[in-house]
A and B are shown apart, each in its own frame.
Chain A
Amino acid sequence: MEEKKQCKGCGGALPFVIGFVAALIAGWVLFPDLMYSKKTQPVRFSHKIHQEQGLECAGCHTFRDDGSFAGIPTNEKCAECHSDVQGSDPAEKVYVEQYAKTGKEVPWLIYQYQPDNVIFSHKAHETLECTSCHPDMAKNDTPPVFYQNRLSGYSKQTMKMWKCERCHAENGVSNACHACHK
């Protein structure tokens, strides 16, 4: 009985420390990988190639007449050039055959998708550089992997509210609810 009460091998803080460290490793190393699934865009779109053709960002990512931001272009815009296959890139062939010719819009995965209860105006943020919030895609040849949160369904890159609030606070912009939630 005495021996059982004073187990030498399991005494002290060692099991606690092992458990603590194991949790830290699992939480910081394994958990992020488990929490996100990896997805690739339906079409390997190369911003690099389009930039090399002399296209400006605003040529496709336009503001509409009413000031709203068109975001990712639709078939209507893409098919201006790609109604038929122009080059030898297999990705272009995928786009033309599966989307441009069928009239089906490409189900692009949106890295910065915001829920319906957030009204984000690109026009109001027009003075900022795009890369203040978005990754610099100009040199990108293959779209980055889309990490989708298995629970929430949102992208890993989706901007959280605290980031919006911090920037607003730093720049003296209102953080009232109605600034973003109409």
Chain B
Amino acid sequence: MGLDRRGFVKFVVGGVAGTLFTPVIWQGLDDAATWSQNWGWIPRLNKGEVKATSALSKLCPTGCAVKVKTVGGLPFAAVGNTENPMSKGGVCPVCAAGAQLMYSPARVKSPMKKVGEGKYEPIKWEDAEAMLVEKLTPLKGQDGKIAAISGDETGSANEVLSAMLAGLGSGGGFHVMPGEMFTATKGVKLMGGNGQPGFDIEGADLVLMIGADALDSWGPTVANQKAFGATRPTGADATAQFIYAGPVLNNTASVCDKFLAVPPTATTAFSLALANQLISAGAVCPASDFGDYKALAAKFTPEEFEKATGLKSEVLKDLVAKIKAAKAPLVIAGASFGQGAGALDFVAGASLNVLLGRVGQKGGMTLLSAAPKAIASAADRENAKDAASFLAQVATGKATPAVLLVYEANPAYALPQAGDMAKAMGNIGFKVSFSTYMDETAAMADLILPAPHPYERFDDAMNPYGVAKPTYLAGKPVIAKPVMDVKDPVDVMLAAAGKLGLSLGFETYADVIKAKAKALGADFDALAAGGIWNGELKGGALSLGAGALAKAAPVKLDGKTVALAPVSKLAYGTDNLATPPANLLVVRDSELLGKDLLVQMNAATAKTLGVTEGNKIKLTAGDGEVKALVHVNEGVAAGTVAMLMGFGRSAWDQFTKGKGDNVYKILTVSDEAGTGLKVWAGSTVTVAKI
């Protein structure tokens, strides 16, 4: 009995028919459909308990007290902490993206050493730490050979860094990135006072912001916004007036009761012209220099005011009437983009508070005395030296450090004349970047030591700039194990110091923070659980700063030059952080079109410059140059061009790299007359059509 072709076909057909009566095909199809749910690239949920844990998110300069929502121990969202009296449940747009940023592709995943131009290879932590010690060892005891730049304004990490440098013989090598906290504190000294200025927005019934973008990117923005919101009760009249006098109709100005378009070059003139009108309207002050101040202010006549600001003098009269009618007026002066203003701009604005008798009053300006230090040998915060001046010295050979430690800062991107600053950094033999993200500075470092994300670390914030009373926040890790191979930079530095024979009295950053809390009389556990420590104000008097203001020199513009007003929007990132991917969705076409940044100016300025909407132009200042498209916007002050900050990134990730241009390239540094401080808030640029 054989099997021929026909028989075989019958057998196969029988087999196929039989198969139809089995689960083979049907279950196979069903399983295949289910299998398609399991392709490797499909994201998987992390299942487990959903919790909300308190954290200090220092992604923004002030730091937000947030609740981090986790599932199975991994963060998936950040929300405001309603129990925190400072943020009252609010969260800034950067910290709101905190969970996404923890998994960012721009994170430095492990220690890396440079092996060629733009080339890095991962190394083990023990090798990385050994390399750091090896580079520091021969420099111990040589003054000026080790330098550090910190981008953290409020953390106790600065105490460790400065004390470590002092212990290694380079005590003068500690520098901070520019921020208004430092210039304002110097301004207070020029007014005969001491301490960091604070502003009680919550208690004021009229808030005049001269430059300071207090409802978006200046100071404790979330607390400021909450204070603003509290004056706008639903269904009732506003209980306070907010007035913004600055170069651009920004997010702050757009919600204020009044916007006065003041060019960035005319901030001091605006303040002193207002002082003149207030004095004319009867304002007097017991300060010893009132006579000199009055004489100085008298030079800023309504005509001078019109010339400097481009505004009609009637706005001054209206403003004086509003201030006189207010019971608790408050003036906040600052650069519209949070840095680069001179101390005199601050003094001119703050002197109005003195003139109105608003220093130390509820709803007025306050003075916060220096907080006790955790490490006695650390540098005093008010004496911090600025990184821009330091790198300028490196460029000219006046400073010759062999090793530069960069902590949570991005000086290669976020300093005025950024191109020159990056070049100066290139002169330093060995650069170490302690960074969470692959930023522009990390991308030129010789050794990159990845820092934890805020949810993975201990950290603290002492007196964020702008708070009205002494304030301390602290946080601890939210997750058990960092998602990247990171180490806390402070722990690394403490270990390196130990190997160099230097003991700072602590082994970990957590210990430093706990000691700081103890020195303040605060309970660390309560702080880490989302609490806040507030100290008492000690008071203090101020002069009107007439002596310092007398040296203020007006900025002169010619026909081809216009004032540059960088615009800072917190949602678009900070100096240390490129725009969070989620927030790129809110960038408008009138700000960034494709890969082109738009430069904004009013129609009169456009006409003067001979450009129209959509023209491609080149803005130059010093050696820097930026290309952009023209967008006509009547919300920009006369003789001023406005440009967004935070773009033109050359590192980071695919979401932010190569979009727009970096406005820092065309911010030019000059010496402030009378104080010698480096300033760039009143930078000017030349515009040419291309």
Contact = CB atoms under 8 A, between A and B. Distances in A.
Interface of A: 4, 7, 9-11, 13-24, 26-28, 31-32, 35, 64, 66, 68, 70, 74, 115-117, 149, 151-154, 160
A27 B513 CA distance: 68
B383 interface: no
Contacts of B429: none
A97 B44 CA distance: 29
B50 A151 contact: no
Interface in B1-52: 1-4, 6-8, 10-19, 21-24, 27-28, 30-32, 34-35, 37-38, 44-45, 48-50
Contact of B11 (A15, A27, A117): A15
A24 B21 contact: yes
Contacts of B37: 115, 117
B17 A35 contact: no
A116 B8 contact: no
A24 B22 contact: yes
Contacts of A152: 31-32, 34-35, 38
Interface string B65-88: 000000000000000000000000
Given A23-B14, A23-B15, A10 B2 contact: yes
Nearest to B34: A152
A7 B31 contact: no
A28 B3 CA distance: 26
Interface residues of B, number: 35
A115 B34 CA distance: 9
Contact of B7 (A10, A20, A151, A160): A10
B50 A7 contact: no
Contact of B17 (A23, A28, A74, A160): A23
Contact of A23 (B19, B31, B35, B48): B19
Contacts of B35: 151-153
Given A9-B2, A116-B45, A151-B32, A21 B18 contact: yes
B38 A153 contact: yes
Nearest to B26: A27
B34 A24 contact: no
Interface in B152-168: none
A118 B44 CA distance: 12
Contacts of B10: 10, 13-16, 19
Q: Is the interface of B mostly helix, strand, loop or mixed?
A: helix
A14 B1 CA distance: 12
| 9 tightest Cβ-Cβ pairs between the two chains A and B | A27-B22, A19-B14, A23-B18, A10-B7, A16-B14, A9-B1, A19-B15, A152-B34, A20-B18
A153 B35 CA distance: 7
Given A10-B7, A27-B23, A152-B31, A66 B17 contact: no
Given A20-B18, A22-B15, 16 more contacts: A4-B4, A7-B4, A10-B7, A10-B10, A13-B10, A16-B17, A18-B14, A19-B11, A19-B17, A21-B18, A23-B17, A23-B18, A23-B22, A24-B21, A27-B24, A149-B31
A15 B7 contact: yes
Contacts of B34: 115, 149, 151-152, 154
A19 B12 contact: yes
A28 B18 CA distance: 10
B427 to A, nearest CB: 47
Nearest to B37: A115
A66 B70 CA distance: 14
15 contacts: A9-B3, A19-B16, A23-B17, A23-B18, A23-B21, A27-B23, A27-B24, A28-B23, A35-B31, A64-B49, A68-B50, A151-B28, A151-B35, A152-B35, A153-B38
A66 B31 CA distance: 34
Contacts of A19: 10-18
Contacts of B15: 19-20, 22-23
A115 B7 CA distance: 46
B49 A70 contact: yes
Contacts of A18: 11, 14
B2 A31 contact: no
Given A4-B4, A20-B14, A64-B49, A27 B19 contact: yes
B22 to A, nearest CB: 2
B40 to A, nearest CB: 11
A20 to B, nearest CB: 4
B415 to A, nearest CB: 44
Contacts of B27: 35
A64 B98 CA distance: 26
A182 B507 CA distance: 49
A12 B21 CA distance: 22
B7 A7 contact: yes
Nearest to A17: B14
A28 B4 contact: no
B24 A31 contact: yes
B50 A66 contact: yes
A162 B12 CA distance: 33
Interface string B185-229: 000000000000000000000000000000000000000000000
Nearest to A151: B31
B32 A10 contact: no
Contacts of B45: 116
Contact of A15 (B8, B22, B38): B8
A74 B35 CA distance: 28
Contacts of A66: 50
Nearest to B42: A116
A11 to B, nearest CB: 8
A141 B1 CA distance: 55
A115 B1 CA distance: 53
A4 B5 CA distance: 10
Given A22-B15, A149-B31, A15 B23 contact: no
Nearest to A74: B48
A24 B25 CA distance: 12
A153 B34 CA distance: 9
Nearest to A4: B4
Contacts of B22: 23-24, 26-28, 31
Given A18-B11, A24-B21, A152-B34, A68 B4 contact: no
B127 to A, nearest CB: 26
A149 B8 CA distance: 32
Contacts of B44: 116
Contacts of A35: 27, 31
A66 to B, nearest CB: 6
A78 B10 CA distance: 61
B28 to A, nearest CB: 7
A151 to B, nearest CB: 4
B10 to A, nearest CB: 4
Contacts of B19: 23, 26-27
